[in-house]
Structure 1
Amino acid sequence: MWLGGTSLTARTVAAIARTPGPVDLHLDRAALARVERAARLGADLSTRRAVYGRTTGVGANRDETAVAEDAGHGLRLLRSHSGGAGDRLDADLVRAALVIRLNQLLAGRSGVSPALVRALAGAVAADALPVVHRLGAIGTGDLAPLAQIALALAGEGAWDTVPPDHRSVPVDAGDALAFVSSNAVTLAEAALAAGTLDVVLAASHAVAALSYLALDGSPEAYADPVHRARPHPGQMRCAQRMRHLLGMERTPPKGRRIQDPFGLRAFPQVNGPAIDALDTLHRVLDVEIDAGAENPMIAVAEDDAYHHAHFHTAYVAGALDHVRACVHGVAELSAARLGDLVEPEQTGLRAFLADGPPGSSGVMILEYMSHDALAALRQAALPVTLGSAVVSRGLEDHASFSTQAARATAEVATAYTRVLACELVAAVRALRLRRREGWPTAADGPVPVEEALARAEEVLDPRTEDRPLTDDVDIAVDLVRDPTWAQV
């Protein structure tokens, strides 16, 4: 892996974080030179002018003078800010945070010592993870989690896995605030959630296409002339993907109805905004992951330090709120299609896709499971940007709560996966029953989505009598999370 502070993306972060083990890490020489120059300038500026966090206290203590040569100032700041509480962060999240923070420091605008950067790089390369707790950030810098990481590097914090030959790194007055002045942990959780949504939104097309086959959907809703008439990018991509999965490059046969229920008919119009919102989120995260956001910013070219508000993550919070709201709409359509799949008037099959004596319940419970997950998703989709906070004796009088937005987005991704899994179990059962009855589907001959159907049928229990469906849904969850399942 090559890092230079300029070209790391959220998708790369997610891939690295979900691949445990040592990393063949290479740091760009020009980036290391930037780090060295910024560190020298930061130290020099501290002898010439007041520099927040270096020669002063922080927050409302900004007017309190600190001695720049006092090495204890940096450690005191880290100790006081490392009060993280709550659950410990998962390994993949800590791994992602370390990679992001290292990349940001390589942008060369923080003024941290090269020794601290090298120590962090050693931890990344060895896949050595400090113990980090969840609570302690509100979208204006991940102060508590990053202080825990810095203290581990300094020899005072705890490690899950200690780096080989680890030696504590001295932390001077200029290192402490410079290291914690970042939202790397929030960005890490957002990147992981975005990576999950990349996969799940792609899978949603395959699941919807299988429901289309089971319901004898109408192809007109996906026709190219329709979407060229209102060409939103995500909507166009969704419709094109559905045409491919359903073999609609040629003119397919008409469906059973002149107009389908919204779950099928409005899928591109509802899924499209989620696609576009996720694209926007990735663009925002990519900027933030490569940003020099430390306050103050040590500007080598200008021979100065600038005090600013890059720690505020309104872009991230807004993008995350937007994604969650859009995914909620797509999840509602999945639950609606599940309702269609258990309705005899829509499928021509027995109610609830039952296959046993009269009164058999079939997949009835799937609707309850789906709406339970949808309710959890709905709660997590509520916007965090409507709240704020006033802290530090009134000086810091606004917060984005992007940290909470990232957590909520991870919850939305998990809940949406389960909603889709319930629909997938029902769609596969409906197609099995239709095949057994010898009924054709709306597709004219083999279509690409049948590859996804074949893989699902290989792992989903073929029995159609009344029985527990817990294992079926868990298997379907694994399919929806598998990035290769929908790549047909």
Structure 2
Amino acid sequence: MNNNAVMLTGESLTIEEVAQVAIHGAQVVIAPAGQEKLVESREFVYKLANSNVPVYGFNTGVGANKDTKVETEHYNQFNVNMVRSHCVAIGPEASLAEVRAMMVIRLNTLLLGYTGMSPAIAYMYRDLLNNNITPVVPERGSIGEADIACLSHIALTMIGEGDAYYHGEKLPAQDALAKVGLEPLILGPKDGLALVSSNALAAGQGALVLYELKKLIKLADVIYSFSLEAFKGNVSPLNGEINRVRRFRGQNESAANVRKLLKDSYLWLPNIANALQDPLCFRCACHIHGAVRDSLYYLEELMDIQMNSSDDNPCVLMNQNAIMSCGNFEVVNWAVAFEMLGIALSHLSRAACFRTIKLSTGHFTGLPRFLTPDPEHVIAFGTIQKPFTALDAEIRHLANPVSMDFYAVAGDIEDHCSNTPYVVQKTRKIVDNLYYILGIEAIHAAQACDLRQEEQFRFGIAGRVVHQKIREVIPFLAQDRNLTVDIAKAYELLKSGVLLDAINN
């Protein structure tokens, strides 16, 4: 195993490792113990293959066809038909990184030995990832009770059908496999169900959303601290003892982080603040960011379980000499946790928007209205309030819960779901909107800092970096110009990770 590889054991996969494989192209290695479990569980399945014990999706049909018997000689055709018939997903395509995240998570859970499929399937997941072959997966169509409509398209690539990307080039799947000398899979008992029935789509996309959110919440602290300097705000709410008496973990971490970011700032000088108490969007920012952090911690714990446990139905229990039907594909617990996180993010968004409006309001800042450098000739930041409040309205709508909206499907037997893929995809959009909103806030804060011609003004360690990086791509607004260009540049700057890297270094 080289330094760029991720060792998969079935029990220890982290969000950061998912990102290393999905985004940065790290290779995957299957731990020897995982290979042993694959072989043992497969041998156990074959012991039951000729028995008269009905096993769902193994020697019976699936869904409403569970009462249909599958004969031994028809195993391959039955499983191929299962894959093809479940390919009903709708575009747009999931990103290449998201599909890779789905595959590494599913591969990891297979190594626990509760699935009983052919070890060749696990090796195919590994080989697709390590050879940069990524199946085309439409991201819509799953209701969250296992992502069968979407994951079937990964299975389609494995049997040499459909399309796949090879190093970014879309090809017929069979051609992509041939490029690296891989043969399409021949499916046996239980293989089709093992391929299509898991929550890997929602988990893969969800893991990457959480990976992005871990950076975003740190960035939100950075932009808030920069705005506080621009606002000439009061730092008393950041006091360590004030936050300790409240005891919330997220709040205390945000406050500690902002105190560190504001080291050496002029705001710590005695009686420097404009007001004894700032508006709540400034005064309670660490509390709001803390709510996002607390929601994130709760969800991350559930996602860790999801990525390192079996969601298979039926479940192979070798210690009980049985393959049992179950409901382990039910993920309503972390679906509603994602919805909680979306609501917390909507509060963060709204506070950022109010801070941006306050920065443009002269009676709060003591600066010219709309941060104009020339009130008679330059309009400056009046109209820009419309796009960031429009984006916040989108976030408010996206934060509405949808996990309880479902039909009874599959012959009325599947009468519960959580819509988890859509819940995750909504959260992904919220995060993307927030990069724009925080970027626009940063533009305002930079302009306000430049307008402050005060002898005592001095940046903290973060503000100095943020101001420099913004001014490298967005000049001071001396004359009215096309601000759409500036907004796009601010978004790219924040999303690139340059600010966090520069501050951390």
SS state at 2:367 partner: coil
How do residues 126-165 of structure 1 correspond to structure 2 at under 5 angstroms? 126-161=131-166, 162-163=176-177, 164-165=180-181
Cα offsets for 1:119-163 (capped at 9, x unmatched): 121101111011111222111011022111112111123222224
The letter for the 2-side match of 1:206 is: V
Deviation at 1:357, TM superposition (A): 5.1
Give me the CA root mean square deviation: 1.8
Give the CA deviation at 1:3. Answer: 1.3
1:220 pairs with 214, 236, 243, which one? 236
Question: Is the Cα contact below 8 Å between 2:49 and 2:189 reproduced in 1?
Answer: no
Name the structure, 1 or 2, with higher relative contact order (CA <8 Å, separation 6+).
1
1:112 aligned to which of 114, 117, 120: 117
Letter of the 1:30 counterpart = A
Match of 1:52 in 2: 56
Equivalent of 1:200, from 202, 216, 220?
216
Q: Contact 2:82–2:192 (CA<8 Å) still a contact in 1? A: yes
Q: Tell me which residue corresponds to 1:11.
A: 16
Amino acid at match of 1:221: P
1:78-97 correspondence to structure 2 within 5 Å: 78-97=83-102
Distance in 2 (alpha carbons) for counterparts of 1:92 and 1:205? 27
Return 32-41 or 386-395, whichever deviates more. Answer: 386-395
1:352 and 2:356 are equivalent in the alignment: no
Q: Rate the CA distance shift 1:190–1:129 in 2: closer, same or farther, 3 A.
A: same
Alignment partners' CA distance in 2, 1:190 and 1:426: 32
Alignment of 1:395-434 (within 5 A): 395-434=413-452
- Select which of 199, 220, 228 maps to 1:183: 199
CA distance in structure 2 between the aligned counterparts of 1:314 and 1:68, rounded to whole angstroms: 36
Query: Are 1:333 and 2:351 an aligned pair?
Result: yes
| Cα displacement string for residues 183-213 of structure 1 (whole angstroms, at most 9, x for unaligned residues) | 1111111111111211111111111111100
Q: Does 1:99 align with 2:104?
A: yes
Q: How many residues align?
A: 482
Contact 1:101 1:184 in 2 (8 A): yes
Flag the 1:132–1:69 CA change in 2: closer, same or farther, 3 A.
same
Shift of 1:339: 0.7
Instruction: Tell me the equivalent position of 1:289.
Output: 307
Opposite residue 244 of structure 1, the aligned amino acid is K
SS at match of 1:364: coil
User: CA separation in 1, counterparts of 2:384 and 2:461?
Assistant: 27
Instruction: Read off the aligned partner of 1:483 and give its amino acid letter.
Output: G
> Which whole-Å CA distance do the structure 1 matches of 2:393 and 2:260 have between them?
32
1:235 counterpart = 2:240: no
**1:61 equivalenced with 2:79 (yes/no):** no
Q: Is the 8 A contact 2:8 2:30 kept in 1?
A: yes
TM-score, normalised to structure 2's length? 0.92
Q: State the 1:329 CA deviation.
A: 0.1
Counterpart in the other structure of 1:35: 38
- Deviation at residue 281 of structure 1 after TM alignment: 1.7
In 2, are the aligned partners of 1:196 and 1:481 still within 8 Å (CA)?
no
- Residue 433 of structure 1 aligns with an amino acid whose one-letter code is L
* AA partner of residue 494 (structure 2): V
In the alignment, which residue of structure 1 is the partner of 2:465? 451
Structure 1 residue aligned with 2:171? none
- Residues 1:140 and 1:446: Cα distance change in structure 2 (over 3 Å): closer
For residues 29 and 479 of structure 1, the distance between their equivalents in structure 2, rounded to whole angstroms, comes to 43
Are 2:186 and 1:170 equivalent residues in the alignment?
yes
Other-structure match for 1:260: 278
2:78 is matched with which residue?
73
Q: Secondary structure at the match of 1:298?
A: strand
Q: Is the 8 A contact 1:367 1:422 kept in 2?
A: no
Residues 415 and 251 of structure 1, relative CA distance in 2, 3 Å threshold = closer
Give the counterpart letter for 2:448 in structure 1: A
Cα deviation for residue 259 of structure 1 reads 0.3
Gaps of 5+ in 1: none
Letter of the aligned partner of 2:186 in structure 1?
Answer: P
Q: Which residue in the other structure is 1:464 paired with?
A: 478
Aligned equivalents of 1:175, 1:357: Cα separation in 2: 70
Q: Indicate if the aligned counterparts of 2:93 and 2:137 stay in contact, CA closer than 8 A.
A: yes
TM-score normalized with structure 1 length: 0.95
Report the 3-state secondary structure (helix = DSSP H, G, I; strand = E; otherwise coil) of the residue aligned with 1:160.
strand
- C-alpha distance after superposition, 1:382-414 (max 9, x if no partner): 112232221111111100111110110101101
| Contact 2:21-2:27 at 8 Å conserved across structures | no
CA distance in 2, matches of 1:16, 1:474: 28
1:477 aligns with 2:481: no
Q: Tell me how far 1:316 sits from its aligned partner.
A: 2.0
Cα distance, 1:324 vs. partner? 0.4
Check 1:190–1:139 CA distance in 2 against 1; reply closer, same or farther (3 A cut): same
